[in-house]
Structure 1
Amino acid sequence: MSIVELNEATFQAAVEGGKPLIIDFWAPWCGPCRQFAPVFDAAAAKHPEVTFAKVNTEEEQELSAGLRIRSIPTLMVFRDNVLLFSQAGALSASQLDELIEQVQAVDMEKVHAEIAAQQNQAPDQA
């Protein structure tokens, strides 16, 4: 499976795609980003059921700022248009595999129900 390069124009469509989406926010000058790249590439090859994407924070400064990326590398994981995970720092291969397993195990019907319940409560708390 290839890794998709995302930009401001393609980001939302990728998030709304049918598969879980794991995004690596990186920069060419970042040593930890370069060290993490082979781990990310290997996971992409191992998990075709997941979409793997990268955002170059140097080229996509507005997108990165809009998502509040403060440190790189940062990983974000979306599933069914919901942000499930966001963390700065590189993961080991085993940590990334474990994260993928956890994301795939999430009961998204329950997550969407919880989000709907929170949204229904929000006006009452104002």
Structure 2
Amino acid sequence: MATHAVSSAQFENVLTSNEIVFVDFWATWCGPCRAFGPVFEKASEDNADIYFAKVDIDQNQDLAQAAGIQAVPTLLIAKKGQVIFKQAGALRASDLDDLIGQARALDVDAAAAGADANAA
């Protein structure tokens, strides 16, 4: 599966209707974004079970602001509609592959239950 350009109007639906979503917040003028783009694209081709989204921050400024994006590229990962990771900076392919494995392995329901138990 290739990457998908996602707009502000689609974003919430994409997060809630896919098990795992990797979002690359990027800009056309950003050198590190251009370097990370092919790495992100290759990962999307190798992991068809994960939804890979790209959000152009210049075209979706409201979404970038709502997501708290302060630098690009920023990778955001959501699982079952919950943000589980957000980090600025271009990643190497090996680091992205590691994050993919961690996202797959994470049991968000158990993590949420544990957080609720700790809060009580």
Fold-level similarity (TM above 0.5): yes
Q: How many residues align?
A: 120
**Identity over the aligned pairs, expressed in percent?**
38
Alignment of 1:53-92 (within 5 A): 53-92=53-92
- Any idea what the Cα deviations from partners look like across 1:67-110, whole Å, max 9, x if unmatched? 11000000000001111100000100000000000010011221
Q: Does 1:107 align with 2:107?
A: yes
Which one-letter code corresponds to 1:43 in the other structure? A
What's 1:124 paired with?
none
Give 3-state SS (helix, strand or coil) of 2:75's partner.
Answer: strand
Where structure 2 has 5 or more consecutive residues not aligned to the other structure, the ranges are none
C-alpha separation in 2, matches of 1:102 and 1:18: 17
CA RMSD in angstroms comes to 1.4
C-alpha separation in 2, matches of 1:75 and 1:108: 18
Where structure 1 has 5 or more consecutive residues not aligned to the other structure, the ranges are 122-126
Alignment of 1:5-84 (within 5 A): 5-84=5-84
Computing the radius of gyration from Cα coordinates, the structure with the larger value is 1
The runs of at least 4 aligned residues of structure 1 exceeding 6 Å deviation read none
Give 3-state SS (helix, strand or coil) of 1:21's partner.
Answer: strand
C-alpha separation in 2, matches of 1:13 and 1:91: 26
C-alpha separation in 2, matches of 1:53 and 1:96: 14
Taking structure 2 as the reference length, the TM-score comes to 0.94
